[in-house]
């Protein structure tokens, strides 16, 4: 048994590695203070850019952090020359065996290395890495990343890793170190501490079987808090006068980054960032003029498929097994019974990103109807006979409302519900659709959905008004709830491990 694993077994809060997320930096700092004060935790902070590392060094005057580390290895080494390709390949295969994943599957979750897997997001901005990194450089960059984290785990005897991408989770798991990352439950502002890169939530099913269901059926009236605030910000940026101002702002920002030598200047290409602003604004206007159907114009029963934004974690990270939306739409259309349509609705966040003729391909399917982009998803779900998704929020909302859900993703937290059907083989889809449309009891499904939401609230913690836009929009109680939930998740796992040993 390694020293880090032994430490994790005895005290998972002894030596904590915290990957700091920019959208929650102050919340995580206050969480770190609690861990230090109440458990004496040695806190090792990991930043993804040198500038962020400098920020955490600047606030570490009282020794809150045992160390501040620059963990931006992957992107910084992505374009380094490969001196010995055979050695790089051998090392990559060593780590693939160790983590139980191919590097290609790990890369699916990465916006730069995995850009090619975002089949419905071809016009997403490109970067120097996505444009110029070779396959050998991809392997080498992941080698260096896994070597970095293995060294950190060993040298600092990390007993817990908090946050970090798929590569961080994989190497922590391979070395027997617990991993926790705060995850949005995508309902109101509830969150939980997930154990893996798929945002799994094992406590949820246990809570579902414990709660006493109430009679009232669930109804989702509004999007969860952070989605609502992000939507408002997105729509503001899509206005013509705002777009023009943002073009100038992006140029000045890029120039500032270059003058200061910031790591961010090596991210998305300036020309692609500017082009994306224009494409987004034009894309929304084209969708407005497309003349797609209103909800009340659909005759007869329909299955609802809301499109996902690409690239996005909701597909690449959470569903590496299945990520082709056009394939999902075509197979659904193929297997729907006569008289049942498939209603597809675009998300505003994908405006300007789709491949050319993307919508034309969908429109060629005779039993598919494209919905007006401004129809509210919750209104469509109420009228739908069933909902189909890969990993979208609509699947969770639909399941909570008691709608049959067809899930192409295999890691959704609601898949244990009786009215949710997971597609593991496309050949099974016809029978799955028949069961979803004919055999689900609406009354039972509504009761199970209401019970699901009760379990979700019971097994999550509430971040109150925190919306990831105003980074100080939380109070002491919010931090305490996040802290208590983290400790509880570790206590549960620790008891299970101790009993098993």
Give the pLDDT confidence score for residue 193 in this predicted structure.
Answer: 98
Kindly state whether residues 103 and 201 are assigned to the same domain. Answer: yes
Kindly state whether residues 190 and 324 are assigned to the same domain. Answer: no
Characterize the bridge pairing of strands 179-184 and 190-194. Answer: antiparallel
Q: Looking at the predicted structure, is the pLDDT value of residue 378 above 70?
A: yes
In a domain, 471, yes or no: no
pLDDT tens digits for 37-46?
Answer: 999 999 999 9
Work out the average pLDDT over 338-349.
Answer: 95
In a domain, 493, yes or no: yes
In a domain, 451, yes or no: no
Mean pLDDT of the chain: 91
Kindly state whether residues 169 and 255 are assigned to the same domain. Answer: no
Among candidate residues 272, 288, 304, the one where a domain is terminated:
288
Work out the average pLDDT over 468-476.
Answer: 88
In angstroms, rounded to a whole number, what is the distance separating the alpha carbons of residues 370 and 293?
6
Q: In what order do the strands lie in the sheet with 179-184?
A: 67-70, 42-47, 15-19, 160-162, 179-184, 190-194, 461-462
* Residue whose C-alpha is closest to residue 177's, from 14, 52, 289: 14
- CB burial of residue 443 (10 Å; 0-12, 13-18, 19+): exposed
Give the pLDDT confidence score for residue 498 in this predicted structure.
Answer: 45
Name residues whose C-beta falls within 8 Å of residue 431's C-beta, 6 or more positions apart in sequence: none
Kindly state whether residues 270 and 189 are assigned to the same domain. Answer: no
User: Which residues are bridge partners to 406 per DSSP?
Assistant: 388, 421
Kindly state whether residues 298 and 283 are assigned to the same domain. Answer: no
Kindly state whether residues 253 and 375 are assigned to the same domain. Answer: no
Kindly state whether residues 284 and 298 are assigned to the same domain. Answer: no
Kindly state whether residues 324 and 242 are assigned to the same domain. Answer: no
Kindly state whether residues 87 and 199 are assigned to the same domain. Answer: yes
Annotate 274-313 with DSSP letters as a single string.
Answer: HHHHHHHHHHHHHHHHS-PBPGGG--S-EEEEEPPPSS-H
pLDDT tens digits for 176-220?
Answer: 999 999 999 999 999 999 999 999 999 999 999 998 776 465 666
Q: How confident is the model at residue 265 (pLDDT cuts 50, 70, 90)?
A: confident
pLDDT tens digits for 101-136?
Answer: 999 999 999 999 999 999 999 999 999 999 999 999
Backbone angles phi, psi at 183, to 5 degrees: -130, 140
Q: Looking at the predicted structure, is the pLDDT value of residue 420 above 80?
A: yes
Name residues whose C-beta falls within 8 Å of residue 87's C-beta, 6 or more positions apart in sequence: none
In a domain, 445, yes or no: no
Kindly state whether residues 131 and 13 are assigned to the same domain. Answer: yes
Omega before residue 175 within 30° of 0, cis: no
pLDDT tens digits for 58-91?
Answer: 999 889 999 999 999 999 999 999 999 999 999 9
- CB burial of residue 274 (10 Å; 0-12, 13-18, 19+): middle
Q: Looking at the predicted structure, is the pLDDT value of residue 267 above 70?
A: yes
CATH number for the domain that contains residue 403: 3.40.50.12580
In the chain, the number of structural domains is 3
Characterize the bridge pairing of strands 42-47 and 15-19. Answer: parallel
In angstroms, rounded to a whole number, what is the distance separating the alpha carbons of residues 106 and 194?
18
Say if residues 189 and 226 touch (Cβ distance below 8 Å): yes
Give the pLDDT confidence score for residue 223 in this predicted structure.
Answer: 59
Kindly state whether residues 383 and 431 are assigned to the same domain. Answer: yes
In a domain, 461, yes or no: no
Kindly state whether residues 249 and 188 are assigned to the same domain. Answer: no
Say if residues 154 and 171 touch (Cβ distance below 8 Å): no
Q: How confident is the model at residue 500 (pLDDT cuts 50, 70, 90)?
A: very low
Give the pLDDT confidence score for residue 2 in this predicted structure.
Answer: 56
Work out the average pLDDT over 271-275.
Answer: 93
Backbone angles phi, psi at 64, to 5 degrees: -60, -40
In a domain, 44, yes or no: yes
Q: What residues make up the domain containing 136?
A: 3-206+476-500
In a domain, 466, yes or no: no
Work out the average pLDDT over 367-377.
Answer: 94
Give the pLDDT confidence score for residue 499 in this predicted structure.
Answer: 41
Give the pLDDT confidence score for residue 225 in this predicted structure.
Answer: 53
């Amino acid at each position: 048994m390694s020293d880090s694993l032994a430490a994790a077994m005895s005290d998972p809060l002894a030596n904590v590695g915290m990957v700091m997320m920019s959208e929650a930096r102050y919340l995580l700092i206050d969480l770190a203070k609690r861990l230090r004060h109440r458990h004496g935790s040695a806190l090792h902070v990991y930043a993804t850019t040198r500038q962020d590392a400098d920020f955490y060094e600047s606030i570490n005057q009282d020794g809150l952090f045992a160390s501040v580390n620059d963990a931006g290895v992957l992107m910084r080494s992505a374009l380094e020359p490969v001196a010995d390709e055979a050695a790089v390949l051998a090392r990559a295969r060593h780590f693939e065996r160790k983590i139980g994943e191919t590097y290609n599957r790990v890369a699916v979750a990465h916006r730069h290395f995995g850009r090619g897997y975002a089949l419905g997001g071809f016009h997403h901005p490109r970067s120097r890495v996505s444009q110029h990194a070779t396959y050998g450089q991809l392997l080498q960059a992941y080698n260096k990343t896994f070597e970095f984290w293995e060294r950190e785990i060993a040298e600092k005897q990390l007993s817990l890793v908090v946050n970090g991408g798929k590569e961080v989770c994989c190497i922590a798991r391979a070395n027997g170190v617990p991993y926790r990352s705060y995850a949005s439950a995508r309902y109101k502002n509830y969150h939980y501490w997930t154990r893996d890169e798929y945002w799994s939530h094992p406590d949820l099913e246990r809570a579902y079987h414990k709660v006493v269901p109430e009679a009232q059926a669930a109804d989702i009236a509004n999007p969860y808090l952070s989605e609502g605030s992000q939507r408002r910000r997105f729509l503001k940026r899509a206005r013509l006068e705002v777009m023009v101002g943002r073009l100038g702002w992006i140029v000045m920002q890029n120039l500032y980054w270059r003058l200061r030598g910031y790591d961010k200047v090596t991210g998305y290409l300036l020309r692609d960032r500017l082009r994306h602003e224009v494409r987004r604004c034009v894309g929304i206007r084209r969708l407005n003029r497309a003349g797609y159907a209103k909800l009340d114009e659909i005759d007869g029963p329909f299955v609802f498929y809301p499109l996902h934004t690409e690239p996005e974690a909701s597909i690449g990270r959470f569903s590496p097994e299945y990520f082709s939306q056009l394939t999902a739409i075509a197979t659904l259309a193929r297997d729907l019974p006569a008289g049942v349509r498939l209603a597809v609705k675009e998300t505003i966040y994908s405006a300007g990103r789709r491949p050319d003729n993307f919508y034309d391909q969908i429109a060629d399917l005779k039993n598919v109807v494209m919905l007006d982009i401004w129809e509210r998803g919750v209104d469509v779900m109420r009228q739908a006979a069933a909902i189909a998704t890969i990993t979208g929020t609509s699947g969770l909302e639909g399941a909570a409302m008691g709608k049959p859900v067809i899930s192409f993703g295999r890691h959704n937290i609601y898949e244990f519900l009786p009215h949710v059907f997971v597609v593991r083989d496309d050949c099974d889809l016809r029978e799955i659709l028949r069961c979803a449309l004919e055999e689900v009891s609406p009354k039972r499904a509504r009761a199970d959905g209401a019970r699901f939401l009760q379990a979700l609230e019971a097994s999550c913690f509430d971040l109150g008004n925190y919306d990831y836009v105003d980074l100080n929009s939380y109070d002491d109680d919010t931090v305490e709830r996040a802290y208590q939930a983290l400790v509880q998740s570790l206590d549960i796992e620790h008891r299970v491990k101790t009993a098993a040993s």
